[in-house]
């Protein structure tokens, strides 16, 4: 499937800003299941941008605006081709895969995705509540991850007003409400507690005619788990679905702090932010 994504961040300042330094993560990743066919970035006021990749192989851009400005508008337009990932429910979790998964070498290699963080940590009582509800741990990480995903989908209410970007998994779990970022942070905390390497994915969701899916009005978030012999497999707890060809990967990391689309500092007063995302399926380039 091919998609065109237009992502605009508009910052409107209460008074003129003297200067600003910004970091953006708006260029989609290339990978086994995804190709970036084109990428165009416009910044107003105009600025030169320095591009590089971070430790997680995300595409990063830095730019500095020295002139006074009352607004900053960043628009990224990308064309991406996405192929279907493996159907997780059709994977036979073999004894060989289990031996690799339980090895010390495997755990050491994926240690960054096994360690908890402030945003993904849960209390012992919260994790035990989930494990009790799904029948406890089992030695099949595929089944365990799917069970956790379904549990969160059924127990956490999607509410865009319940949380903020700084809400932790522990706080969202107590609220039993949140957005895709909160579902993802909670699921990461549980899976890592169970010894499953799991990473945060920031990206876009193409909904099309499927009104049951949530997450296409801004950047979306979901989880990927590492399965020996298969690779990274995506699960979307906000929608209780396996990630296939309608999820477009933007960045990966340990939690939201590694993948924030736009962040920066400036000299001046307060501001408002308007985010607009449009994902369109295209048949021909």
Instruction: Please state, rounded to an integer, the average pLDDT across all residues of the chain.
Output: 92
157-158 and 177-178 as β-strands: parallel, antiparallel, unpaired?
Answer: parallel
Together in a domain, 39 and 93: no
- Residue 86: the pLDDT is 63
- Residue 85: the pLDDT is 64
- Residue 269: the pLDDT is 77
Together in a domain, 124 and 190: yes
Lowest mean pLDDT among 18-27, 133-142, 154-163: 133-142
Q: What is the mean pLDDT of residues 105-112?
A: 95
Together in a domain, 49 and 165: no
Domain of 62: which CATH number?
A: 2.60.40.2250
Question: What does the pLDDT look like over 178-224, one tens digit per residue?
Answer: 999 999 999 999 999 999 999 999 999 999 876 788 887 789 999 99
Please report which confidence band the pLDDT of residue 136 belongs to, taking 50, 70 and 90 as the band edges.
confident
Together in a domain, 106 and 243: yes
- Residue 284: the pLDDT is 61
Together in a domain, 163 and 246: yes
Are 207 and 259 spatial neighbours (Cβ–Cβ below 8 Å)? Answer: no
- How big, in percent rounded to 5, are the helix, strand and coil portions of the chain? 25, 40, 35
Together in a domain, 101 and 205: yes
Together in a domain, 191 and 170: yes
Structure-model confidence comparison of residues 264 and 201, the more confident one? 201
Q: Which token pair is 120?
A: 């993904």
Which residues span the domain enclosing 184?
Answer: 88-258
Whether 142 has a pLDDT exceeding 60, the answer reads yes
Q: How much of the chain, in percent, has pLDDT values that exceed 90?
A: 78
Stated pTM of the model: 0.94
Element (H, E) at 34: strand 34-44
Q: How much of the chain, in percent, has pLDDT values that exceed 70?
A: 98
Together in a domain, 74 and 99: no
Together in a domain, 134 and 158: yes
Whether 261 has a pLDDT exceeding 70, the answer reads yes
Together in a domain, 57 and 112: no
Whether 153 has a pLDDT exceeding 90, the answer reads yes
Together in a domain, 100 and 78: no
Question: What does the pLDDT look like over 231-254, one tens digit per residue?
Answer: 999 999 999 999 988 999 999 999
Together in a domain, 113 and 62: no
Q: Which token pair is 216?
A: 């296409």
Whether 26 has a pLDDT exceeding 90, the answer reads yes
Phi and psi, residue 162, nearest 5°: -80, -30
Domain count for the chain, please give it. Answer: 2
């Amino acid at each position: 499937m091919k998609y065109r994504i237009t992502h605009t961040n508009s910052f409107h300042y209460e008074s003129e800003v003297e200067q600003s330094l910004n970091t953006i993560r708006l260029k989609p990743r290339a990978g086994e299941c995804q190709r970036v066919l084109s990428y165009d970035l416009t910044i107003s006021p105009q600025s030169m941008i320095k591009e590089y990749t971070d430790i997680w192989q995300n595409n990063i851009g830095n730019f500095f605006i020295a002139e006074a400005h009352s607004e900053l508008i960043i628009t990224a337009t990308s064309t991406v081709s996405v192929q279907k990932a493996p159907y997780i429910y059709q994977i036979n979790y073999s004894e060989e895969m289990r031996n690799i998964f339980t090895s010390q070498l495997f755990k050491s290699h994926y240690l960054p995705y096994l360690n908890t963080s402030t945003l993904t940590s849960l209390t012992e009582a919260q994790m035990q509540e989930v494990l009790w509800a799904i029948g406890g741990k089992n030695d099949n990480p595929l089944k365990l991850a799917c069970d956790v995903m379904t549990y969160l989908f059924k127990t956490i209410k999607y509410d865009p007003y319940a949380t903020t970007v700084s809400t932790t998994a522990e706080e969202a779990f107590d609220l039993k409400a949140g957005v895709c970022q909160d579902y993802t942070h909670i699921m990461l905390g549980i899976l890592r507690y169970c010894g499953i390497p799991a990473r945060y994915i920031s990206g876009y969701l193409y909904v099309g005619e499927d009104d049951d899916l949530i997450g296409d009005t801004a950047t979306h978030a979901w989880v990927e788990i590492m399965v020996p012999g298969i690779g990274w497999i995506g699960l979307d707890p906000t929608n209780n679905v396996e990630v296939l060809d309608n999820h477009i990967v933007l960045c990966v990391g340990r939690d939201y702090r590694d993948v924030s689309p736009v962040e920066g500092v400036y000299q001046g007063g307060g501001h408002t932010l308007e985010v607009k995302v449009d994902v369109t399926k295209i048949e021909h380039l």
